């Protein structure tokens, strides 16, 4: 399996960047390898400590890019359109096929197909509310 580039955001504000090959939404932990030290032992990451896992195209992104935050009229993404508000106030808009309140988390595909984020795994305990659009 090809490693995924991820940016991991903890509920306490800590951010780490790395690669993972063993992330599964139904598991309580996964391992991350760091790009600046590929020979080091991977770090174990516990889902319960996280806000979200951002699966990204690149670790730096494009700071000049103005990401679209709303669906275009008539746009029909795969899944349900949602607006997710995290407890820290961050709001993400996108679509999901796996949101259920009782799950530990769910994936969101950003509204903007040009986003650096290809998908985001939102940890349910870090989410304030989910609004269907």
The pair of three-digit structure tokens given for residue 40, joined into one six-digit string: 């080091």
3-class secondary-structure state, position 118: strand
Beta bridge pairs of residue 98: none
CA distances from 79 to 39, 96, 124 (A): 39, 5, 18
- pLDDT tens by residue, the chain, 133 residues: 689 999 999 999 999 999 999 999 999 999 999 988 878 899 999 999 999 999 999 999 998 999 999 999 999 999 999 999 999 999 999 999 988 888 999 999 999 999 999 999 999 999 999 999 9
What count of other Cβ atoms lies within 10 Å of the Cβ of residue 116?
19
The pTM of this model reads: 0.94
Q: How many domains does the chain have?
A: 1
Host domain of residue 107: 4-132
Q: Residue 115 has what pLDDT?
A: 96
Q: Would you state the pLDDT for residue 68?
A: 94
3-state secondary structure at position 30: strand
């Amino acid at each position: 399996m090809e490693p995924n580039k991820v940016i991991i955001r903890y509920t306490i504000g800590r951010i780490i960047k790395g690669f993972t090959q063993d992330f599964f939404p139904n598991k309580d932990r996964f391992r991350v390898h760091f790009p600046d030290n590929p020979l080091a032992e991977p770090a174990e990451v516990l889902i319960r400590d996280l806000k979200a896992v951002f699966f990204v195209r690149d670790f730096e992104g494009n700071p000049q890019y103005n990401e679209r935050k709303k669906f275009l009229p008539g746009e029909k993404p795969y899944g349900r359109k949602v607006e997710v508000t995290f407890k820290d106030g961050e709001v993400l808009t996108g679509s999901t096929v796996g949101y259920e309140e009782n799950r530990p988390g769910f994936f969101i595909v950003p509204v903007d197909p040009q986003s650096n984020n290809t998908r985001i795994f939102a940890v349910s305990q870090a989410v304030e509310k989910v609004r269907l659009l």
